[in-house]
Amino acid sequence: MGNQIEDLLQPFQRFGINLGLKRIKNLLALLDNPQEKVPIIHVAGTNGKGSVCAYLSSILTASGYKTGRYTSPHLVNWTERICLNEKPIEEDILIAILEKIRSVINPNDPECPTQFEVITAAAWLFFANSEVDVAVMEVGLGGRLDATNVCDRTLVSIITSISREHWQRLGDTLSKIATEKAGVIKEKCPVVVGSLPEEAVGVVKNRAEELNAPTIWVESAQKLFPNQAEYEGVNYPLALGGDIQLQNSAIAIATIKILQEKGWQIPTSAIEEGMKNTRWRGRIEWVKWQKRDLLIDGAHNVASAEVLRQYVDTLHKPTTWVMGMLNTKDHEGIFKQLLRPEDQLHLVPVPDHSTAEPEELAILAKTIQPQLKQVQTYGDLFTALDSVTNNQETATTSIVLCGSLYLLGYFLSKLG
C-alpha cells in the first residue's frame, strides 16, 4: 500500500517547493474548507519543531483529547506525517483521502498544487473528518507562506528557534528568515517563543506587538537529574536525548499552561505521562546495528550539528562519523561544528535525493579538520556501516550516523 500512496503523490512532485497560499486555499475550497473545522497549535522554527509537536500531542492525548499531529518530512512511510492520538493514519484511509483530493484537481491547471500542499490538504481533511479537539501542525518551510498557514482557529502559535537554513527560499539574513517564521503569529493569539538570536528577537517582538499577540519568551527548563527537568513549577521526565530538550520541553510546557488558562483540562499526571511517553525518531536516538550501538541524528544544519556535538562530547570517546548530506546544505558550517582531531569520517551519498558528492565532502572535511584520523568515501551507506562496525579501530569509538533525515529514513527502512 505504501507504493500506492507514493503513486498518488508522485505526479505532484514535479511542482517542487513553491511557497504561496493561493494553491492550497483553492484546493481546500474544493474540499469544503476542512481547515475551518480544526483548532490548531501552529509550530514554526528552524530546529526543535518536531520534538515540540511530539511533546504536545503526547500530553494532549494523555489528557483525553482527540489530538491530531502533522509533521514533515517522514522517515520511512508517508503515514508518519499524519497521526491521530499518537498513531499514524492507516494506509487505506490515507489512500482514500488522496484519491478524493486527486479527483478535484485539474492536472492541466497551471496553478496545480505541490506535493507538500496535497499531503497537507490530506491532513486537514483527515483531522476535520475525525473531529479532532486539536491538531498540532508543524510548518513545512518558513511560516508566512506555508501550506499549514491557512487556519483561522489557531489556539497558540509557537516559534521554537531561528537560525540560517533554507536561506535560498526564506532570505539570506536572520531578520528575513525571522519575518517568514513570524508569519504564523495571529491577531490577539498567544505566541510562545524559544531562544532566538538578537537579530531575530526584534522582528518577532514587533510582529507580535503589531497583532496584539501576548508573547511568552521561554527560558530553558532546569535539569534536575539526567532524565528529569523542571519548568515553572512543573516537574517532568525527559524521554528525548540532548540538552536542547530542556528548551524544547519548556516550550511545550509553556504552551500547555496557556491551554490550561483557556480552560483545557490537562492534569499534572497527564503532563508527566505525556512527557514520559514521548517518542521522536531519528533525533539523538540510540539503535543497534550488527551488535554495535549506533547513535542516529538528523544534524542537517549548523544549529542541529552544534546540539549533536554537545551530546557527543558527553560520551567522552573519539567519534566515528558516518555522514551523507544534501547538496543544498551548509557543509562547511556543519563540519566545523562536528569534526574534532582524531575523529574518523566515513562519507556516503544520500539515496534518491540531490546528494552532495562524498569525494567533494572528503576534500572539504580534510581542509577544515586536517587532524582527522581517517577519511573514507563509499558508494552506499550499508557498505560504509559494514566497514565501520567490523573494524577494530572503531571498537572504542562512538559511531554516529547523521547529516540528513533522508539518510536516516533510508537506514531505518532497512532496519525494520
pLDDT digits over 186-235, tens only? Answer: 999 999 999 999 999 999 999 999 999 999 999 999 999 989 999 999 99
- Please report the pLDDT score of residue 107 as a whole number: 81
Residue 11 CB: number of other CB atoms within 10 A? 14
- Please report the pLDDT score of residue 222 as a whole number: 98
Q: How confident is the model at residue 279 (pLDDT cuts 50, 70, 90)?
A: very high
The domain defined by 2-277 folds into UDP-N-acetylmuramoyl-L-alanine:D-glutamate ligase (3.40.1190)
pLDDT at 166 over 60: no
Please say whether the beta carbons of 295 and 284 come within 8 A: yes
pLDDT digits over 75-121, tens only? Answer: 999 999 999 999 999 999 999 999 999 999 998 888 899 999 999 99
pLDDT at 1 over 90: no
- Please report the pLDDT score of residue 165 as a whole number: 67
User: What dotted CATH number matches 285-415?
Assistant: 3.90.190.20
Domain boundaries, the chain: 2-277, 285-415
Rounded mean pLDDT of 354-363?
98
pTM of the predicted structure, to 2 decimals: 0.94
Cell triple for 171: 532570505
The CA–CA distances, whole Å, from 254 to 55, 216, 364 equal 12, 8, 42
pLDDT at 169 over 70: no
pLDDT digits over 124-156, tens only? Answer: 999 999 999 999 999 999 999 999 999 999 999
The CA–CA distances, whole Å, from 299 to 292, 330, 373, 396 equal 21, 11, 22, 23
| Mean pLDDT value across the chain | 96
DSSP letter, residue 392: G
Longest dimension (CA), the chain: 61
